[in-house]
Structure 1
Amino acid sequence: MPYKWTSPPEAPAQEMRLWPHQSLPARGFAAFILTTFTLILIPTMTLLGTVLLWGMLPFVLLAVGGVYFALQQNHKSRLIEEVLTLDKDMARLTHTTPKGEVKEWACNRYWATVNKYEKDGPMPQYVTLRGEGREVEIGAFLSEEERVELYDDLQRSLKR
């Protein structure tokens, strides 16, 4: 589950961290690039010692470089983090974008509400927090089932 309460439910302040799935660790990334390079080179082995190899090599390197660049961009876009803090009086949400920008939302916990838009939001099971005249999304990067579970979890936590 890509979210976790970092403090026990009986603590005076609860904190929840949310993050996108990290399905490709650094070792897996290196192995994938090496495997891709090797598999692309297998057909070019028959061209060893010929002038055609030098004609094919730039395209092989371009293909591997394209895969590397795409995976790096994907990794950078997964650097999102959201932290929801619920203390006795306040609810605070801090959203860090992949570029490092920090967006914050805070409101009195008594007035904070959790909303779930099953079909009307930008995605199915869209979860938002509302309070202080603003409505902010939470966990938009989670899967549909995880957003449903997040909604139920937030409902229970805000009622305490």
Structure 2
Amino acid sequence: MPYQWTPAPGTAPRTCLILWPHRSLPRWGFVLFIGITCAMLLVPLLALLGTGALWGLLPFLAVAVAAVWWAISRSYRSGETREELCIDPERAVLIRSNPDGREQRWQANSYWVEARIYPKGGPVPQYITLRGEGREVELGAFLSEPERARLITELTTALSHARAGG
């Protein structure tokens, strides 16, 4: 699961939820993929060694490898998003760290915070929001649909425990 409770909901007066996007390709897989791509592109070039056609194709192949490198690197940057929701009997604070380094912060009295799920009509199915102090903010839009469906029950439990005073 690309989220974690610390400590578990209902076990302490303060609980935090940390969410991050799922990365299906680890860093070593990225290196391996680029290496295999380069090797496979070089195989046809072996037949062109010593000809002028080699120099005609080489720039295009280099651009193709650079484009794949750029696209995967950009995907990794978007995966640096992180959301942290801390709930205690007095406050619920959500901090979203964006890939560009900016932080967005939302807080409300945890007694009045309401977790909502929109099965349809949101940007993603099973869209989760937190509502409090006149604002509604999204939570975990990068999670998969089953993960969001599971998270809403855990989130509702954590908010209930906070309302009860820990």
- Separation in 2 of the partners of 1:101 and 1:132? 23
For 1:123-156, what per-residue CA distance to the aligned partner results, in whole angstroms no more than 9, with x for missing partners? 2110000000000000001111111111111011
Residue in structure 2 matched with residue 4 of structure 1 by the alignment: 4
**SS of structure 1 residue aligned to 2:66:** helix
Identity level (%): 47
Residue in structure 1 matched with residue 88 of structure 2 by the alignment: 87
TM-score, normalised via structure 1 length: 0.96
State how many pairs are aligned: 160
* Structure 2 segments unaligned to the other structure (5+ residues): 162-166
- Structure number with the bigger relative contact order (C-alpha 8 A, sep ≥ 6) is 2
TM-score, normalised via structure 2 length: 0.93
- Separation in 2 of the partners of 1:158 and 1:32? 43
Letter in 2 for 1:100: G
Trace 1:42-61 onto structure 2 (pairs within 5 A).
42-61=43-62
* Structure 1 segments unaligned to the other structure (5+ residues): none
- Separation in 1 of the partners of 2:108 and 2:4? 21
- 1:6 Cα deviation from its structure 2 partner: 2.0
- Separation in 1 of the partners of 2:45 and 2:124? 45
- Separation in 1 of the partners of 2:105 and 2:69? 33
**SS of structure 1 residue aligned to 2:47:** helix
Runs of 4+ in 1 over 3 A off after TM superposition: none
